[in-house]
Amino acid sequence: MSAAPLMSTDHVAAGERAAAWRDWVWKHFGGLESDLYGDQDFDGHINAAHAGDVVLTKLEANRHRVMRSPRLARASDTSYLKIVAPWQGSAAVEQQGRQTWVRPGGWTIYDTTGSYEIANPERVEHLIVMLPREHLAERGLRLEPLMARHVGGAQGISRVALETMRSTFQELPSMSGVAAQGAGELIIELVRLSLQELAGRESATTQIEAFRDRIRDHIGQHLRDPGLSIDRIAQALNCSKRHLHNAFSAEDDTLANYILRRRLQACMRDLKNPALAHRTLTDIAFSWGFNSGAHFSRVFRDHAGLSPSEFRAAALRQPAEA
């Protein structure tokens, strides 16, 4: 089974690469927005193949983010569970207020029927695997608590699943259609077993993950409150500030940075919304808990690579579907 033709910016003029990349990502992944951190220079490559109902994609690109809004998730007519397994670089996967970082040797999974965001803050080489959602949902697994979790890859069944996904992608060009179909079914079964094992683990690790979920849920509910603080969260959850910080000690983000990033992401969504074009930058910033326009502008540029006004202007110039 041969892979789909390579989509490469090598054959695109430098000034047109960003638009071409957004178009490829939108079409290949079924309605997915992308953002290049404001970078002007970009190169990326996409190569995909099918193993029965499973879609395997090798993606190589400069730093970028992809986002699926609730509106796009509702509008989609496809339902996949999606795996990201880096060969190089890292990815932060966020869904339902939960975030996990994944690096070479690991993998994580998320649900395309809900909104999500994937940050790739450095050049990456990822294997992206898309499995029909119904193949796993019908097996009795509660999928929601398992999304945006670090499934594994270092040992056990999750490592077998990871190595099988990688080797299948590499060997697909030499497989017959029947063999590719069987390989896809094997991947689905190994992913199911990996998720089943993740769901059944009772350890300090999963208890900490559950506590992080409580923290993130509280932050999501109070994100617009300018008084949201570590002290307030600790008081609301009846725990010490040290306990809060310890819960985030294994994450790449501090708790304060997590709150800041959630607010910036909310502002980015509003700035891209044509229906909110009449609202001022300050109004949007203050509605998401910022209390200083200068501070908002500075941290927004650090996060997005553009000023808020530049980001809004660029977003509103894009075609309506993107």
Closest CA to 190 of 166, 170, 168, 160: 160
- Assess whether pLDDT exceeds 90 at residue 127: yes
Mean per-residue pLDDT, 15-29: 90
In a domain, 322, yes or no: no
Asked if residue 124 belongs to a domain, the reply is yes
Q: What is the pLDDT of residue 42?
A: 92
Chain centre to alpha carbon of residue 182: 28
pLDDT band at 201 (very low <50, low <70, confident <90, very high): low
The neighbouring-strand residues paired with 131 are: 81
- Residue 49 structural domain: 7-200
Query: Residue 82's CB: how many other CB atoms inside 10 A?
Result: 23
Residues 194 and 209 in one domain: no
Q: Tell whether 56 and 195 lie within a shared domain.
A: yes
What CATH number has the domain bearing residue 286? 1.10.10.60
pLDDT at residue 95, rounded to an integer: 92
The model's pTM: 0.76
Q: Specify whether 186 is located in the same domain as 212.
A: no
Of the candidates 35, 18, 22, 57, the one whose C-alpha atom is nearest the C-alpha of residue 119 is 35
For residues 278 and 147, state if they share a domain: no
Residue 257 lies in a domain: yes
What CATH number is associated with residue 174? 2.60.120.10
Instruction: Give 85: exposed, middle or buried? Use CB within 10 Å, 0-12, 13-18, 19+.
Output: buried
Token pair in block for residue 167:
């080797």
Number of domains in the chain: 2
Q: Which residues contact 94 (CB under 8 A, 6 or more apart)?
A: 116, 117, 118, 119, 148
Q: Are 166 and 54 members of one domain?
A: yes
- CA angle at residue 121 from 117 to 125, to 5 degrees? 90
> Which residues fall within 8 angstroms of residue 23, CB to CB, at 6 or more apart?
322
Q: Is 239 found in the same domain as 179? A: no
Residues 255 and 223 in one domain: yes
Among the listed residues 249, 211, 264, the one whose alpha carbon sits nearest the alpha carbon of residue 233:
211
* Whether the predicted pLDDT of 90 surpasses 80: yes
- Identify whether 168 is part of a domain: yes
pLDDT value for 320: 45
3-state SS of 272-322 is HCHHHCCCCHHHHHHHCCCCCHHHHHHHHHHHHCCCHHHHHHHHHHCCCCC
End-to-end alpha carbon distance in the chain: 32
CA gap 96, 116 in Å, rounded:
7
166 token code pair: 């990688």
Same domain, 58 and 16: yes
Do 21 and 44 touch, CB atoms closer than 8 A?
yes
Q: Is there a contact between 283 and 271 (Cβ–Cβ < 8 Å)? A: no
Please give the helix or strand (H or E) that residue 220 lies within, else none: helix 204-221
| Residues 157 and 234 grouped into a single domain | no
Q: How far apart are CA 143 and CA 133, in angstroms?
A: 10
How far apart CA 237 and CA 219 sit, in angstroms, is: 11
Average confidence (pLDDT) over 151-172: 94
Residue 118's pLDDT is what? 96
Question: Side-chain half-sphere of 39: how many Cα atoms within 13 Å?
Answer: 20
Q: What is the pLDDT of residues 129-160, one digit of tens each?
A: 999 999 888 666 788 889 998 898 888 999 99
